[in-house]
Structure 1
Amino acid sequence: MKILFKSSVLCLSILLTACNSDDSQNSQKTPDTDSSSKFYQTKTPYQPQQEIKTYEQIPEGYQAVFTELVARHGSRGLSSIKYDLALYNLWKQAKAENALTPLGEQLGADIEAMMKANILLGYGIDGIRQFGYGNETMVGIQEHRGIADRLLQRLPTLFKTAAAQPASILVQSSGVDRAIDSAKFFTNELIQQQPELKNQITPLSYTSLASSSVPTIEDGGVDRFKLYFHSLNQEQDLTQPLSVQQQAIYDASQAYQQFEEEDADLANKLDELAENTRAEQVAMRVLTPIFKPEFIKKLGTSGYTFSNTGSYTVTAPSGETVTENGKGKNKIASAVDAAAYIYELYSISGGMQSELKDVSFDKYMPTDAAKFYAEFNDADDFYSKGPSFTESNGVTSVMAQGLKQDFFSQVDAVIERKQSHRAVLRFAHAEIVIPLATSLELNNMMQPLPLRQTYSYDNSAWRGEMVSPMAANLQWDIYQNAQGNTLVKMFYNEKETSFKPSCDYARTNSNSFYYDYLKLKQCYQMQ
């Protein structure tokens, strides 16, 4: 969950760049995404970043022998009834006081549409095991179907070979519903396009969209140590003796969780981010078109603090009533809180176009305000999930070592002729993709910042919408020639992507995206 602005403070880190001018010579080159971005941050719906026809040609004499990927789940709805219900309670009070503008009058119906869409999200859709909050949207489902289609287009010969070999496609997920569902929609698309692949997918639990078909740790379809490593715990993950590698991942997970909850430097940095003189100004820019000034002034005073208390009931297509209860934990105690909550509905709405056909939250969120909130959330993710500050000593990415090792180990098995799979497909979360990308030092945006410097769009190229949009994915294609030489090519969100600059010597030539695998393995110091 994102950390929203404190109700008692004034701002964020956009204005801090002047204080950091001493480090400007070390700043990363920042991307120019403002012209096209809607500033949905990591909730940005997925788009492939390159067309297949523009990919570099396969070197002469080589053919694809293996592919592997890790992907975030697709676009989803709200994780639970919180921001929407809290705002709805605030809106009802404003309505009762005649404190709404004409635009504000529309907000109530739009919030109700948002709650109804989330309460019924996935209703009647094959492949969604339990409808409701947290599920993938139709956009999310199509994102993974599209990635599967393009994988088949990119590697047609490889999958024709796979269709003739038992257990040639291994599928794994974190075990969380939306990751399992993403995997199933992906494999279902493979099967629809090439029905003969159905008998090649293992475990069998991923070959059916039926709710009764549930992958488990026991059938090999779930691996929490590789695909849920940010949240390992004693109750779920210490029921069996651990291997040496699993123990190392578990220890790294505990260190990360302790960092996230208790690290004083992290807490101070997040506090610093929340203290910015523009927050009140931006909040007024969001709220003034919606609520009358006298109502906005009351926010946070006695009787004008709102939360996600109460419930909301909708009628399902079958006629049954479905009620969702709020927990009262998400509070609006200031104008700053209220505006930040509106941003949360705005940002999630980008992936809910099918469910919110006639509803747009764009009219409530000016672009400059969206950029402000996206920058705050990006800063939070940068420190809590991404490269963080130099003094954190890589605690946010060490736990990805097992997944990184697995990428290399799968290729080692190909070289040693011990690999029965032609594809290994993994499905997880932003909390997995971000540390892995950080560990691989990709895209010139994975460098930590010194503690004395504070993340902003001016001094860092790191952007959530580029690092981990919905359905973010990292793929390796493996090629061999008749002499047994092995090449690897990486795609990040389906764009040909370089490995870290220090590995350039492993390229087949200075401009190529094909790398000599053994040299690359040496560069990353993988055993």
Structure 2
Amino acid sequence: MPKLLLTLLLLSAASFTVRAQQCDGDFLGTKTLYTAPPAASVKIPDGYKPVFINYVGRHGARHLTKAPSVSYLYKILASADSAKALTPIGQSLRKMVLLLDKVEKGNTKSISAEGATELMGIAQRLYQNNSAVFADKPKIAVSVTKEIRTRQSADAFMKGLQPLLKNLTVIEKGINDTTLRFYDLAPAYLEFEKSGSWMKIVADLKEYLSIKETNEKVTTRFFTPEFTKAMKPADKNTFVDDLFGFATIVYSLQQEIKQAGFNIQDLNFQGFFTCGELASLSRIDVAEDFFLKGPGTDINGIQVKIAAPLLADFIKTTDEYIKNKKINANLRFSHAETIAPFAALLNMNTTNQVGTYIQLINKKWESAKVIPLSANIQWVLYKNDAGKYLLRCLLNEKDANIPGLKAASPNFYTWDEVKKYYLQRLKAIGANPAGNMLQYLKTVK
């Protein structure tokens, strides 16, 4: 390699690191760590107290779902190293990936220590804000998905809750994929994922943001010109996607990195990008979340309709509490793909905002605010001595406005009106809450 080119590459790498260190964390998207909201001063209507909670939450901050050693990035770096085709920056990246592989060994698919802390904090605040729900001998139902990180999330949540309670009975409902992983069970949605109209919109956004050129610029930092030229555009895209994924995941692994004997800067993957590159790649991630998991271009689209089983379950279990008072809290632990469409189906805040003007997605719908790690939706039911019920709806522990539904008191809605509103919502998308929800998922279009 010519000496001048090598010098330029070294100077370039230094400047990238300096600029990246000054970037904020807005690029993290769905890997944004959960932040406890400021304590809210909400006036509870006179005579009412909380009696029941319906909860669904995303798993906590997590490790990678696959080991770094099976990624395309890992393999192409190894191949380039054997061919002596890595630049000095490429050598630095390869060493960093090997360190990440050590941190992740035996931990993939699991929540991290940060994730457990997030969930314990949510549980403790849930109790503090609604202690009357857990008085006497509370019974709590817990359900999860087939993924181990949701079981671990449930355990961490209960670890935060149990020390605050006496005579607690936990009813394990086990795995409930129909209610919590509905996106895997609807053929029409799986087809939408593979070939939906959203793909053209995202492709246009990639062109608008010059992602192909970004992939080219980033890739050339790590490989010799000859090696880079031989890589296909799709390979460069996969390489950059893998690198961006590593840059976002390490925020969740701070404690594990230290426990492995490394410094946080030893795994500073974001230092290989400029702030502008991180922002552009993040916008692609947000766009895909918006169209695949959120309201996208149609609030009644297949990506929202599939959340009907969860809404039906929320209505059913709230009614069951009113009828028999057997369960004090229903706790469900799931995924981002569960929370985003459910929030859109509920019309919470701006989670129902549709649009095709792709340059403005971050202003209307932000995955970092809707589905960060440990994202959650809570229905808290209140009762007065006259036997009347009010419902308070929260998104990530913040009161959520429901457009089209008149509040009985600020942030509180009568249960009968809420039930009527959401039964009409289900009817509008062809879902019968009393019917077979698995069959609904198989046939919904």
TM class by shorter chain equals 0.7 to 0.9
Look up the match of 1:260: 193
Answer yes or no: is 1:299 the counterpart of 2:231.
Answer: yes
Look up the match of 1:344: 245
Task: Give, in angstroms, the shift of residue 65 of structure 1.
Answer: 0.7
Q: Which range is displaced more, 419-428 or 102-111?
A: 102-111
The structure-2 alpha-carbon separation of the partners of 1:151 and 1:274, relative to structure 1 and needing over 3 Å to count, comes to same
Answer yes or no: is 1:107 the counterpart of 2:56.
Answer: no
* 1:281 partner amino acid: E
- 218, 221, 225: which one pairs with 1:286? 218
Look up the match of 1:138: 113
Q: Describe how 1:403-422 pairs up with structure 2 within 5 A.
A: 403-416=310-323, 418-422=324-328
Answer yes or no: is 1:443 the counterpart of 2:414.
Answer: no
Q: Describe how 1:183-222 pairs up with structure 2 within 5 A.
A: 183-194=154-165, 196-197=166-167, 199-203=168-172, 220-222=173-175
Residues 349-384 of structure 1: CA distance to partner in whole angstroms, max 9, x if unpaired? 221112223222221232221111111122122222
Instruction: Give TM-score, length-normalised by structure 2.
Output: 0.81
Look up the match of 1:398: 305
State percent identity of aligned pairs.
28
* 1:254 partner amino acid: P
Residues 233-292 of structure 1: CA distance to partner in whole angstroms, max 9, x if unpaired? xxxxxxxxxxxxxxxxxxxx23222322344x3444444444446113323553455445
* 2:169 partner amino acid: Q
Separation in 2 of the partners of 1:255 and 1:335?
31
Q: For residue 256 of structure 1, give the secondary structure of its aligned residue in structure 2.
A: helix
* 1:419 partner amino acid: K
Separation in 2 of the partners of 1:169 and 1:35?
43
Look up the match of 2:294: 386
- 376, 388, 391: which one pairs with 1:473? 376
Structure whose residues are more often helix by fraction: 2
Separation in 2 of the partners of 1:81 and 1:413?
43
Task: Give, in angstroms, the shift of residue 339 of structure 1.
Answer: 2.2
Residues 479-510 of structure 1: CA distance to partner in whole angstroms, max 9, x if unpaired? 111112211112211112212x111x2341xx
Q: Which range is displaced more, 288-297 or 150-159?
A: 288-297
Separation in 2 of the partners of 1:462 and 1:424?
28
Separation in 1 of the partners of 2:70 and 2:206?
22
The structure-2 alpha-carbon separation of the partners of 1:436 and 1:100, relative to structure 1 and needing over 3 Å to count, comes to same
Look up the match of 2:180: 227
Unaligned stretches of 5+ residues in structure 1: 1-33, 122-132, 204-219, 233-252, 301-331
The structure-2 alpha-carbon separation of the partners of 1:271 and 1:143, relative to structure 1 and needing over 3 Å to count, comes to same
Unaligned stretches of 5+ residues in structure 2: 1-21, 425-432, 434-445
Separation in 2 of the partners of 1:262 and 1:84?
26
Separation in 2 of the partners of 1:397 and 1:296?
41
Separation in 2 of the partners of 1:443 and 1:415?
27
Separation in 1 of the partners of 2:236 and 2:195?
29
Task: Give, in angstroms, the shift of residue 470 of structure 1.
Answer: 1.2
Separation in 2 of the partners of 1:385 and 1:84?
26
Residues 54-91 of structure 1: CA distance to partner in whole angstroms, max 9, x if unpaired? 23132221111111210011111221136864222322
Separation in 2 of the partners of 1:284 and 1:271?
17
Residues matched between the structures, number: 397
- 331, 353, 369: which one pairs with 2:254? 353
Q: Describe how 1:57-136 pairs up with structure 2 within 5 A.
A: 57-81=43-67, 85-96=71-82, 99-121=85-107, 133-136=108-111
- 8 Å contact kept, 1:170–1:425: yes
Q: For residue 330 of structure 2, give the secondary structure of its aligned residue in structure 1.
A: strand
Answer yes or no: is 1:46 the counterpart of 2:15.
Answer: no
The structure-2 alpha-carbon separation of the partners of 1:525 and 1:35, relative to structure 1 and needing over 3 Å to count, comes to farther
- 8 Å contact kept, 1:230–1:256: yes
Residues 21-65 of structure 1: CA distance to partner in whole angstroms, max 9, x if unpaired? xxxxxxxxxxxxx985331111222222x223x231322211111
The structure-2 alpha-carbon separation of the partners of 1:294 and 1:259, relative to structure 1 and needing over 3 Å to count, comes to closer
Look up the match of 1:241: none
Alignment root-mean-square deviation, CA: 2.6
* 2:188 partner amino acid: A
